[in-house]
């Protein structure tokens, strides 16, 4: 696999340097650790800070959502690896404006361990924290074990809502409650068509035969729930939408936000083909689509494939999604 990189070990640091050089009006590195990014105006006095984090390789996920009306800072790990507890703590200090800090990140063991340690360090430093985990991947666990699900592209909805709540001056408890509410009403499922290749090894993260697809695949190549011959775009979309509607127990008259997300190597044209079918099927279910997002929101390097996320809306959630937000990779005006 050909890649546009220099030394594999420098890949993450050079990528971060590029983001900061390209967007100095929006993000900055607050100290000596080059693996921490925060809003250009951080810390914002009197407002809740929001720190996310995780492994590299998923842009714009994690570091791409640092900005006004979104996250305040991010701790950045190596490709598909967790940031350290010290990096999570340093990001916490860098965004603390005196109103506490929300940790909002995906439900992965290493991330949970290190953010929990960072919370202990923050407590010793008199910084109050709360944690909400993105856990929207319906293929990773059945509904009765939804607290164990992986966090994938649907966490974007939680970033957006929690960021808007913090921006309007909500308390830490209120911002955490907003994030948890959105997580509870979000469901995602993905489809993989080809593996990602790790820059450090040059090897694929999993194998998939020519002409095969994997339904329910994770963003690190974790196994899904079905592997078989590649289906048509409509059949794939029908399969995903059916699972999401059932999981969220949606009924005619419900309102939803829809995210059709590319995993890194899928053309935007194909994502719109999927959105077309998703729109048709959701309308046939009697559901009202209030917000639509199509593009790359959570990737896995050059994995071919896509995911669809649904967020069940009410007036409060829709108001937060409609609030202004901006980052190097996201704009809502």
Average pLDDT in the 170-183 region? 98
pLDDT recorded at residue 314:
98
pLDDT tier at 104, thresholds 50, 70, 90: very high
Question: What value does the mean pLDDT of the chain take?
Answer: 96
Identify whether residues 141 and 191 lie together within a single domain: no
Backbone angles phi, psi at 185, to 5 degrees: -110, 20
Which among 23, 58, 185, 285 is annotated as catalytic? Answer: 58
What pLDDT is recorded for position 257?
98
For residue 5, being part of any structural domain is answered with no
Give the Cα separation of 13 and 35 in Å (integer): 7
What is the reported pLDDT for 67? 98
Does one domain contain both 206 and 251? Answer: yes
**Is 200 found in the same domain as 123?**
no
**What pTM, to 2 d.p., does this model score?**
0.97
Q: pLDDT tens across 10-64, in order?
A: 999 999 999 999 999 999 999 999 999 999 999 999 999 999 999 999 999 999 9
**Are 56 and 200 found together in one domain?**
no
For 24-79, the DSSP string reads TTTEE--SS-TTEEEETT-S-TTS-EEEEEEEESSTTTTGGGBSBTSBSEEEEEEE
Q: Binning pLDDT at 50, 70 and 90, where does residue 307 land? A: very high
**In this structure, what DSSP letter does residue 222 have?**
-
217 and 141 housed in the same domain? no
> CB-based burial of residue 234 (10 Å sphere; 0-12 exposed, 13-18 middle, 19+ buried)?
middle
* Neighbouring-strand partners of residue 169: none
Q: Is residue 1 part of a domain?
A: no
Active site residue 220: yes
pLDDT for res 202: 83
Same domain, 164 and 295: no
pLDDT grade, residue 287 (50/70/90)? very high
φ/ψ of residue 192, rounded to 5: -110, 140
In this predicted model, what pLDDT tens digit does every residue of 123-169 receive, in sequence order? 999 999 999 999 999 999 999 999 999 999 999 999 999 999 999 99
Residue 131 sits in the same domain as residue 230: no
Which pLDDT value is given to residue 203? 82
Distance of CA 43 to the CA centre of its chain: 22
Decide if pLDDT at 1 tops 80. Answer: no
CATH of the domain at 291: 3.30.1180.20
Catalytic residue, chosen from 220, 226, 279, 285, is 220
d(CA 301, CA 303): 6
Q: Are residue 178 and residue 280 in the same domain, yes or no?
A: no
3: in domain: no
Q: How confident is the model at residue 263 (pLDDT cuts 50, 70, 90)?
A: very high
- Tell me, yes or no, whether 303 and 287 share the same domain: yes
117 and 228 housed in the same domain: no
Domain enclosing residue 35, as ranges: 11-185+324-332
Q: Do residues 31 and 103 share a domain?
A: yes
Q: Examine residue 111 and state whether it is found in any structural domain, yes or no.
A: yes
- pLDDT tens-place string over residues 75-101: 999 999 999 999 999 999 999 999 999
- Work out the end-to-end distance of the chain between its first and last CA atoms, rounded to an integer number of angstroms: 39
* 199 compared with 154, residue with greater pLDDT: 154
How many folded domains does the chain comprise? 2
Domain co-membership, 179 together with 232 = no
> Does residue 56 fall inside a structural domain?
yes
Q: What six digits make up the tokens of 245?
A: 């509607």
CB atoms within 10 A of CB 34: 14
CATH number of the CATH domain containing 148: 3.40.50.10440
Answer yes or no: is 2 within a domain. Answer: no
Residue 99 lies in a domain: yes
Asked if residue 319 is part of any domain, the answer here is no
């Amino acid at each position: 696999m050909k890649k546009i990189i220099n030394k594999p070990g420098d890949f993450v640091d050079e990528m971060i340097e590029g983001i900061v050089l390209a967007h100095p009006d929006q993000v900055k590195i607050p100290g000596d650790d080059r693996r921490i990014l925060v809003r250009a105006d951080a810390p914002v006095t009197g407002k809740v800070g929001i720190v996310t984090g995780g492994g590299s390789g998923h842009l714009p996920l994690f570091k791409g959502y640092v900005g006004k009306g979104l996250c305040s800072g991010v701790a950045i790990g190596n490709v598909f690896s967790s940031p350290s507890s010290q990096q999570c703590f340093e990001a916490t200090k860098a965004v603390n404006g005196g109103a506490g800090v929300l940790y909002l990140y995906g439900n992965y063991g290493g991330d949970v361990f290190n953010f929990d340690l960072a919370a202990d360090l923050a407590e010793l430093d008199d910084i109050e924290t709360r944690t909400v985990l993105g856990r929207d991947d319906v293929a990773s666990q059945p509904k009765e074990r939804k607290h164990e699900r992986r966090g994938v592209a649907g966490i974007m909805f939680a970033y957006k809502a929690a960021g808007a709540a913090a921006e309007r001056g909500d308390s830490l408890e209120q911002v955490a409650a907003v994030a948890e509410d959105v997580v509870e009403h979000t469901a995602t499922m993905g489809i993989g068509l080809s593996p990602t290749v790790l820059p450090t090894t040059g090897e694929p993260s999993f194998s998939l035969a020519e002409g095969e697809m994997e339904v329910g695949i994770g963003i690190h190549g974790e196994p899904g729930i079905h592997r078989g011959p590649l289906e048509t775009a409509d059949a794939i979309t029908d399969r995903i939408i059916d699972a999401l509607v059932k999981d969220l127990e949606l009924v005619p008259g419900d309102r939803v936000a829809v995210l059709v997300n590319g995993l890194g190597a899928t053309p935007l044209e194909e994502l719109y083909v999927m959105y077309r079918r998703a729109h048709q099927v959701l309308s046939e279910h009697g559901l009202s689509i209030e917000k639509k997002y199509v593009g790359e929101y959570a990737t896995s390097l050059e994995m071919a494939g896509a995911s669809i996320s649904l967020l069940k809306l009410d007036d409060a959630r829709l108001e937060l999604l409609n609030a202004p937000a901006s980052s190097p990779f996201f704009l809502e005006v």
